[in-house]
Amino acid sequence: MEVTGIAAVVTGAASGLGAATATMLAARGAKVALFDLNEEAGKAHAEAIGGLFVRADVADDRDAAVALDTAAEAHGTARVLVNCAGIVPAIKIVGRDNVPHPLDVARRTIEVNLIGTFNMIAKFAARLAAADPIDEERGVIVNTASIAAFDGQIGQAAYSASKGGVVGMTLPIARDLAQHRIRVMTIAPGIFATPLLKALPLAAQESLSTQVPHPSRFGRPEEYAELVASIIANPMLNGEVIRIDGAIRMPPR
């Protein structure tokens, strides 16, 4: 699918992987709606790339529906959805003084990362299913999992569970949406240079980067965005999860 002139939605688009993806799509001529809860950063980035910012909690039923309607009113029916919104808690199942993992944190992680992705997919696909196909397809959905879905580290139980859910639902959703000619793919990024990672102490950053076999560095958000572009362009990419991680396999800690 060519992106020039089509409408696209990117969640978590105020920073990191989502911001880079929104930039890539806008640069290739797409009409991009940026969904995020960070209004200041989201509006600034939307203005910089000529996109539309919409404040949205992807895990909220009504919020997601209103946001998609707002984007459609401005740009028409979106053909591309890239789900990048997510949170990354790091809490052990049993902490200091034998304190159990807070259930509210685990629940919120699942709500944002897994249910939020599911919510956006369902609402986006229902709108797109009514549109006319372009050549042999109507559109493309790209989700963001993580290598933590496969190599979860200590303290990542809730996060790994949420991302494992995204991996697990990729194929069945692709099969569900095949009748509507909508493709569904998931990317599982490794260690990328996002604001969250850059907030770590320098020593921790250096330790993590040297664990990547090749190239021995953090991934760049632009490299994630380029993979999104390749997925959109190739009609045979469907129902699969692609790791983009420099061949790293995460150790326990």
Question: Which residues carry out catalysis?
Answer: 159
Secondary structure of 42-94 in the HEC alphabet? HHHHHHHHCCEEEECCCCCHHHHHHHHHHHHHHHCCEEEEEECCCCCCCCCCE
Contact status, residue 239 vs residue 185, Cβ threshold 8 Å: yes
Question: Which residues lie across from 80 on neighbouring strands?
Answer: 8, 140
Q: Is 181 helix (H, G, I), strand (E, B) or coil?
A: coil
Helix (H, G, I), strand (E, B) or coil at 200: coil
* Closest-CA residue to 55 (of 13, 113, 114, 115): 13
Nearby residues of 178 by Cβ (< 8 Å), 6 or more positions away: 238
Could you tell me the CA-to-CA distances from 11 to 86, 141, 209 in Å, in that order?
9, 12, 26
Tell me the DSSP string of 95-126: -GGGPBPPHHHHHHHHIIIIIHHHHHHHHHHH
- DSSP string of 10-21, one letter each residue: EETTTSHHHHHH
Largest CA distance in the chain: 60
The total of other beta-carbon atoms located within 10 Å of residue 39's CB is: 12
